[in-house]
């Protein structure tokens, strides 16, 4: 029997886990690591299923090649030969943009893909780069990019010291926190209570977090920007604007005052569904608190005014003197913080061919990928590479995208399952399980509520190549070196580049991600190397967050831009909302469950016990009006599509709002996910409308979609 200490790579919380294996290398137990410096023993059901994931017989263990419509297992050599035969000619004949990429969420939780997929993407040189970011947090990158000059400088709630936490559109007791790496959120929220602080939740659903909070406001979906502007309006009207130390680092304060004028509590109350007096009280309590923080997540980003809402969250943190202050919203300083010159934030360096959407942070909205595949002409997408993504379930009007993909000349999926998306590929390249690879949460330590670092060596050897090698093999093919390219030489080249940026000599004692992480640690803000982390299996805690303004700012002015022109330009669109007649049609929102992980962990029996979770939640009053019965079937129709789903009548959702979780719909022919297919659920993104976007960021509206509902 052996035990290993690993950081869980499944969500943003970065819990330390203790994995026990028997003499046959079977995982017998996974528990929380009590000694982990950050998570201190916390674990959730997904982390506990790491063994089930590792041993899942459906997880791919060899490359698959489609021959005459059927997948066959092939050698890596055969897989790469096929790619060599079919991919480069497409780029040669039709140009680089004919090859599109979709990069999914688990790639950010995978050090090999985080560090080496960008080598491939750069080599491809395509403008058709898409990722899960445009169905997720892009508005936050946009607001940070314009306000602070760096799309990755995202302030996180200093949850362990705050005395007032206003949460909008997040359910951290279920999601375990996002853009806020904080294992054991229940314990941390309890801490706020024990300090005599207050938790306020704004959410159309009475979620677990809302139930735990001191106060819950069931807002009408898509109206957070109005509510947030009204909070600003009250602070201005009541003379409570007090940015404190930040005053000398601000541009645009007066513009914000002026912009907020039309958004009085009275004007927004009927649209948000929150009374004017309540809005006033919320604003004053924010201002009165010894310290406070406003935090918004998916419910505020994947909606019609995602960028304005994301911006106003930090405007409020500034106006109340809580940005960059203990107990407020603070900028983490990760051990691997990239050094060197950061480029100024620019958007719209290119536009999508069909709809003319601007590029943001190097990508185009995934909502328009189907347009680019379907529409003939110069620059039409003819090949697609998906890397740890399942866009056929996770992106809007998924039905249309799945159809469009059939028209591609060639498709590669780098994925660990044969599922709704990868079944459409010509070649699938699998990667090792989380226990067979090293792990380091490069991305999430930049979003962590304490400055932490923890390196996980592989627990078990892998029979599959590490995914960084796969990325470099593909890079070799794309750059004309063929499948026989010298991977070690390519890796040296990547490391030399990282070393150059870190102003260090390249090292040769390690390869792959370990060498890159070591270089980044050596050039980082703490006196630490990878060897130090290897000697600390429970992690190293560099302490609570510290103020970072002005050093963190990267705007041309060197100041915080409180009224960035491109966001201000979108405000008239919000102002127009105030003049529109009130709509009372039903709207669809999503929800997450503790035992799901977007679309891809429903194949693990321990996580799907307990019946069908993929239901449409309907308020009792709506159910009565529409003739829907609990346990009956409803049909949900939108401009984009139609689906049928079992009804769950509950007053947890607000009247006028229905909720269906995303990531289900595992009944596609040709998938090989036997557990998931036995309890498939329906794909909520069949009705998500790909034409509805947050304008500045191109992020899909996945919350607040107009729908019609009737008994099926
Ligand atoms: N309606 C609606 N839609 C949503 C959302 C919503 O709230 N509502 N949420 C959105 C959000 S926030 C996100 S992040 C996206 C997620 O969207 P995606 O990233 O497209 O989807 P995932 O479900 O995360 O699927 C990830 C894929 O990666 C594979 N995978 C898992 N581990 C590995 C690995 O180690 N290596 C490789 N190569 N592959 C791996 C899985 O098999 C799966 O195919 O969904 C979005 N879609
Ligand atoms: N268990 C589990 N954990 C996960 C995931 C998972 O699928 N399952 N996915 C991971 C990923 S990729 C992400 S991005 C994070 C997301 O992390 P969170 O944002 O915390 O996730 P959600 O639970 O989707 O919370 C969003 C909340 O917004 C609410 N909402 C919907 N529309 C609106 C609106 O218009 N206004 C307001 N104020 N609220 C609204 C919803 O009711 C929901 O409660 O979770 C991560 N963690
Ligand atoms: S909360 Fe996230 S990191 Fe922690 S055990 Fe669960 S899935 Fe893993
Ligand atoms: Mo996400």
What is the position in ligand 3's atom list of the atom closest to the CA of 10?
A: 7
Residue 625, both tokens: 């009006």
We report the CATH number of the domain holding residue 376 as 3.40.50.740
Helix axes 467-478, 487-502, angle to 10 degrees: 100
Q: Each residue of 431-474: pLDDT tens digit?
A: 999 999 999 999 999 999 999 999 999 999 999 999 999 999 99
With a 6 Å cutoff on the Cβ, whether 182 touches ligand 3 is no
Distance 689 CA to ligand 3 centre (A): 31
Atom of ligand 3 nearest to the CA of 7: 3
Query: Per this entry, what is the length of the chain?
Result: 712
User: So what's the pLDDT on residue 520?
Assistant: 96
- CA-nearest residue for atom 3, ligand 2, is 175
**Does the beta carbon of 231 lie inside 6 Å of ligand 2?**
no
167: left (phi > 0), else alpha (psi -120 to 50), else beta?
beta
* Burial call 133-166: b when 16+ CB within 10 Å, e when fewer: bbbbbbbbbbbbbbbbbbbbbbbbbbbbbbebbb
Of the candidates 401, 429, 457, which is a domain's last residue? Answer: 429
> What residue's CA is closest to ligand 2, atom 15?
178
Query: Would residue 398 count as lying in a domain?
Result: yes
CB of 48 shorter than 6 A to ligand 3: no
Q: Classify residue 301: in a domain, yes or no.
A: yes
Domain with 567, as residue range(s), is: 138-329+554-574
- Tell whether 605 and 562 lie within a shared domain: no
Ligand whose nearest atom lies closest to the CA of 662: 1
DSSP 8-state assignment for residue 219: P
Q: Is 136 in the pocket of ligand 2 (CB under 6 A)?
A: yes
Tokens 């005459």, located at residue: 68
β-pairing verdict for 329-330 and 2-7: unpaired
293 and 394 belong to one structural domain: no
Q: Cα–chain-centroid distance for residue 24?
A: 36
Does residue 254 share a domain with residue 125? Answer: no
Specify whether 369 is located in the same domain as 304: no
Over 80: is that where the pLDDT of 343 sits?
no
Is the pLDDT reported for residue 340 higher than 70?
Answer: no
Q: Is 44 in the pocket of ligand 3 (CB under 6 A)?
A: yes
694: Cβ below 6 Å to ligand 2? no
E strand or H helix at 422:
none
In tens, the pLDDT along 416-437 reads 999 999 999 999 999 999 999 9
Sequence-distant (≥ 6) Cβ neighbours of residue 68 within 8 angstroms: none
Of 63, 31, 685, the closest CA to residue 429 belongs to 63
Is the CB of 132 inside a 6 Å radius of any atom of ligand 2? no
Query: Using CA atoms, how far apart are residues 416 and 367, in angstroms rounded to an integer?
Result: 24
How confident is the model at residue 341, as a pLDDT? 65
Q: Which residue minimizes the CA distance to atom 4 of ligand 1?
A: 394
pLDDT at 309: 98
Which band of pLDDT confidence, cut at 50, 70 and 90, is reported for residue 583?
A: confident
Residue nearest to atom 5 of ligand 3 (CA): 47
- Binned at pLDDT 50, 70 and 90, residue 584 comes out as confident
DSSP string, 175-205: H--SSSB-S-HHHHHHHHHHTT-EEEEE-SB
Beta bridge partners of 541: 452
Q: How far is CA 278 from the centre of its chain?
A: 31
CA of residue 105 relative to chain centroid, distance: 6
Of the residues 397, 429, 461, the one at which a domain ends: 429
pLDDT tens profile 642-697: 999 999 999 999 999 999 999 999 999 999 999 999 999 999 999 999 999 999 99
Domain termination residue (choose one: 372, 397, 429): 429
Q: Which atom of ligand 1 is nearest to the CA of 432?
A: 35
Contact 427, 79 (CB under 8 A): yes
CA distance 131 to 591: 21
Q: 179 and 83, same structural domain?
A: no
Confidence of residue 614 (pLDDT cuts 50, 70, 90): very high
Tell me if 598 CB under 6 Å of ligand 2: yes
Query: Are 155 and 302 found together in one domain?
Result: yes
Ligand 2 centre distance from Cα of residue 254 (Å): 33
CA separation, residue 364 to residues 128, 360, 515 (Å): 7, 7, 31
* pLDDT score, position 342: 76
- Residue 490 near residue 515, CB atoms below 8 Å: no
Q: Residue 256: inside a domain, yes or no?
A: yes
**What's the total number of domains in the chain?**
3
Q: What is the pLDDT of residue 339?
A: 62
pLDDT one-digit tens code per residue, 252-294: 999 999 999 999 999 999 999 999 999 999 999 999 999 999 9
What is the token pair recorded at 650?
């509950």
DSSP state of 640: S
Check whether residue 642 and residue 698 sit in a common domain. yes
- Alpha-carbon distance of 143 to 150, in angstroms, equals 9
Task: Please tell me if the CB atom of residue 388 comes closer than 6 angstroms to any atom of ligand 2.
Answer: no
CATH of the domain at 643: 2.40.40.20
> Is the Cβ–Cβ distance between 564 and 63 less than 8 Å?
no
| Both tokens assigned to 518 | 């070591």
Report, as an integer, the average pLDDT of 374-385.
Answer: 97
Mean pLDDT of 65-76: 97
The pLDDT-based confidence of 188 (bands split at 50, 70, 90) is very high
Residues 127 and 145 placed together within one structural domain of the fold: no
**Mean pLDDT (the chain, rounded):** 97
Q: Is the pLDDT of residue 611 over 90?
A: no
Q: What's the CA-to-centroid distance between 642 and ligand 2, angstroms?
A: 23
User: Whose Cα sits closest to atom 46 in ligand 2?
Assistant: 175
188 vs 194: CA distance, rounded Å: 10
Going 553 to 555 to 558 to 559, the CA torsion angle's sign is negative
Q: How far apart are CA 99 and CA 411, in angstroms?
A: 9
Q: Does residue 2 lie in a domain region?
A: no
Q: Is the CB of 14 under 6 A from ligand 3?
A: yes
pLDDT per residue over 346-369, tens digit each?
A: 999 999 999 999 999 999 999 999
Ligand 3 pocket, 15 CB below 6 A?
A: yes
Domain annotation covers residue 490: no
List Cβ neighbours of 103 (8 Å cut-off, separation of 6 or more).
117, 121, 129, 130, 131, 132, 386, 387, 388, 389
Nearest ligand for residue 173 CA: 2
Pocket test for ligand 3, best of 47, 48, 445, 595 (most atoms within 8 A of CB): 47
Quote the pTM value: 0.98
Neighbouring C-beta atoms of residue 97, cutoff 10 Å? 21
> Residue 595 and residue 43: Cα distance in Å, rounded?
12
Same-domain check for residues 112 and 148: no
Pairing of strands 616-618, 657-659: antiparallel
Q: Is residue 471 part of a domain?
A: no
Give percent of the chain with pLDDT exceeding 70.
Answer: 99
Find the CATH number of the domain harbouring 310: 3.40.228.10
Tokens of 209: 């977090």
183 and 282 belong to one structural domain: yes
* 279 and 190 both lie in a single domain: yes
Residues 315 and 355 in one domain: no
Cβ of 219 less than 6 Å from ligand 2: yes
197 lines ligand 3 (CB under 6 A): no
Which tens digits make up the pLDDT trace of 156-178?
999 999 999 999 999 999 999 99
| CB contact at 8 A, 214 and 198 | yes
Unique residue bearing structure tokens 């009927």: 270
Closest ligand 1 atom to residue 136 Cα is: 12
| Assigned domain for 524 exists | no
Residue among 524, 487, 493, 490 at smallest CA distance from 506:
493
Residue 412 falls inside a structural domain: yes
Q: From the CB of 431, is ligand 3 less than 6 Å away?
A: no
């Amino acid at each position: 029997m052996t035990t290993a200490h690993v950081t869980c790579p499944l969500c943003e919380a970065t819990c330390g886990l203790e994995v026990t294996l028997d003499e046959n290398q079977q995982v017998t137990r996974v528990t929380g690591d009590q000694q982990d410096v950050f998570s201190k023993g916390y674990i959730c059901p997904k982390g506990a299923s790491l063994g089930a994931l590792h041993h899942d017989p459906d997880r791919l263990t060899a490359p698959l090649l489609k021959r005459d419509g059927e997948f066959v297992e092939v050698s890596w050599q055969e897989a790469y030969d096929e790619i060599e035969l079919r991919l480069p000619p497409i780029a040669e004949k039709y140009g680089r943009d004919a090859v599109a990429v979709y990069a999914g969420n688990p790639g950010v939780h995978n050090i090999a893909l985080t560090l080496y997929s960008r080598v491939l993407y750069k080599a491809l040189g395509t403008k058709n780069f898409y990722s899960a970011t445009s169905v997720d947090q892009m508005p936050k990158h946009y607001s940070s990019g314009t306000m602070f000059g760096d799309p990755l400088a995202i302030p996180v709630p200093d949850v362990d010291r705050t005395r007032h936490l206003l949460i909008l559109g997040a359910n951290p007791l279920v999601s375990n926190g996002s853009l806020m790496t904080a294992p054991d959120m229940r314990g941390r929220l309890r801490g706020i209570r024990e300090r005599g602080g207050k938790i306020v939740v704004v959410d159309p659903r009475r979620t677990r977090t809302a139930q735990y909070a001191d106060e819950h406001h069931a807002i009408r979906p898509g109206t957070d920007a109005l509510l947030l502007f009204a909070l600003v309006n009250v602070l201005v009207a009541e003379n409570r604007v007090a940015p404190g130390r930040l005053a000398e680092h601000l541009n645009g304060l007066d513009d914000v005052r002026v912009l907020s004028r039309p958004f009085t509590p009275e004007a927004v109350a009927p649209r948000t569904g929150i009374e004017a007096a309540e809005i006033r009280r919320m604003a004053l309590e924010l201002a009165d608190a010894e310290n406070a923080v406003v935090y918004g997540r998916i419910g505020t980003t994947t909606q019609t005014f995602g960028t304005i809402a994301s911006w106003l969250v930090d405007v409020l943190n500034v106006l109340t003197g809580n940005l960059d202050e203990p107990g407020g919203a603070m900028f983490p300083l990760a051990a691997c913080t990239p050094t060197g010159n950061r480029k100024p934030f620019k958007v719209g360096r290119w536009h999508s061919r069909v709809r003319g959407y601007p590029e943001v942070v190097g990508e185009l909205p995934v909502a328009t990928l189907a347009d680019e595949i379907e529409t003939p002409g110069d620059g039409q997408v003819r090949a697609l590479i998906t890397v740890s993504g399942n866009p056929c379930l996770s992106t809007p009007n998924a039905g249309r995208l799945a159809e469009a993909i059939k028209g591609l000349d060639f498709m590669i999926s780098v994925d660990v399952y044969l599922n709704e998306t990868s079944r459409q590929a010509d070649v699938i390249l699998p990667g090792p399980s989380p226990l067979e690879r090293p792990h380091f949460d490069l991305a999430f330590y930049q979003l962590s509520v304490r400055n932490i670092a923890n390196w996980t060596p592989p627990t078990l050897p892998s029979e599959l190549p590490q995914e960084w090698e796969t990325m470099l093999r593909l890079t070799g093919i794309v750059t004309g070196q063929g499948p026989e390219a010298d991977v070690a030489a390519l890796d040296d080249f990547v490391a030399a580049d990282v070393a150059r940026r870190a102003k260090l000599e390249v090292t040769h004692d390690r390869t792959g991600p370990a060498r890159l992480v070591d270089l980044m640690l050596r050039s980082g803000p703490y006196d630490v190397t990878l060897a130090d982390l290897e000697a600390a299996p429970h992690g190293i805690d560099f302490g609570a967050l510290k103020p970072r303004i002005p050093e963190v700012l990267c705007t041309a002015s060197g100041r915080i831009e409180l009224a960035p022109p491109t966001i201000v330009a979108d405000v008239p669109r919000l102002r127009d909302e105030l003049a529109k007649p009130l709509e009372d049609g039903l709207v669809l929102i999503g929800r997450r469950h503790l035992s799901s992980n977007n679309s891809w962990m429903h194949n693990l029996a321990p996580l799907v016990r307990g019946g069908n979770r993929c239901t449409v939640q309907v308020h009792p009053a709506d159910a009565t009006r529409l003739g829907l019965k609990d346990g009956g079937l409803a049909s949900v129709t939108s401009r984009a599509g139609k689906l049928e789903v079992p009804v769950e009548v509950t007053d947890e959702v607000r009247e006028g709002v229905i909720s269906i979780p995303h990531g289900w719909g595992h009944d596609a022919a040709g998938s090989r996910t036997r557990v998931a297919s036995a309890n498939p659920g329906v794909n909520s993104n069949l009705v998500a409308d790909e034409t509805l976007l947050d304008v500045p960021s191109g992020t899909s509206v996945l919350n607040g979609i107009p729908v019609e509902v009737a008994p099926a």
